[in-house]
Amino acid sequence: MRPACRCWCRSRHAERTGGLERGAANAGGTRYGDKFHNPDYAISIDGRAEGRNGLRAANDADMFRRSERQPMTHGLPPDPPFTGADAERIVDTLTLAERLKTEMRHSWLSNGRHESVAEHTWLMSVAAVLMAPHLEHPVDLGHTLALIALHDIAEAITGDIPSFEESPRKATKLADETAAVARIRAMLPAASGDLMVRLWREYEDGETAEAKFARALDKLEVQHQHNLAALETWTEQEFGLVYTKMDRECAHDGALRTLLAIIRSRAERKLRDGGFDPAEIRARASG
């Protein structure tokens, strides 16, 4: 008998994918149960096995290397004891992260003000919850939400940079954000800091199913928000981005492509209502 799946958004897909419990036979849980619920699940960094007490073994270079096969470490207990000093460090980090509530993005809201980074992250999270049951390629929803929650954490230090901006700070964006994440990691207890880095790196690499899903929602949420804002807030570059910024991130999943088509059709309707020809804009963008 197949063990019950602990992640509801995967259970719907289990039969047609031939079962998702690859780790069940030797780990005592479902495929994602072994990652997140078995405290003896071993992760590997540079080929070294690490169990429940091995989170601190990796050095800084290990933590910032590419993220393949570095699962989120939910289910592993924190290094005991969790002290008041550790709690202080987490609260200090939350105080820093609060800046994302006031860090404004280029996007505008339907009420005529700029969107904050935190608001963008929140709507991505809502989209993840609503879309997870429909994906062709199932994901772990909790893992995805963790990636989304932290994907822009560096902007608490660096600030937001629009994707289309061409500037010296855009040229050093990845290096600056990597340094910012290292700085935030140093503020945290070791287990919290290591987990944050792994999730941030996984999102940046965009190789896992969860990271691909999160990155697609990042692009889709941006266009959806533009659709809700006044057309006068769009830059000339953003007209063409309707046709160039979402396809690659959504290509791997039919449900995401369907969602993209609806969001794009609403953008085209907005353009037509504003007196613009979507076909002409598409041709220019493709050229």
157, 161, 163, 168: CA torsion to nearest 10: -110
Report DSSP letters for 20-78, one per residue. Answer: S-TTHHHHSS-HHHHHHT-TTPPEEETTEEE-TT-TT-S-HHHHTS--TT----TTSPP
Q: Which of 114, 29, 247 is nearest to 41 (CA)?
A: 29
Vertex 162 angle, CA 161 and 164, to 5°: 130
The model's confidence at residue 149, banded by pLDDT at 50, 70 and 90, is: very high
Q: Which of 216, 209, 211 is nearest to 198 (CA)?
A: 211
Amino acid present at 38: N
Domain 39-286: top CATH class: mainly alpha
Of the chain, the percentage scoring pLDDT greater than 70 comes to 72
pLDDT digits (tens, 9 = 90+) for 201-254: 999 999 999 999 999 999 999 999 999 999 999 999 999 999 999 999 999 999
pLDDT digits (tens, 9 = 90+) for 123-138: 999 999 999 999 999 9
User: Tokens 């598409």 — which residue?
Assistant: 282
pLDDT digits (tens, 9 = 90+) for 39-80: 332 333 233 333 333 344 445 555 566 555 455 655 555 566
| Domain segments of the chain as ranges | 39-286
Report DSSP letters for 173-223, one per residue. Answer: HHHHHHHHHHHHHHHS-HHHHHHHHHHHHHHHHT-SHHHHHHHHHHHHHHH
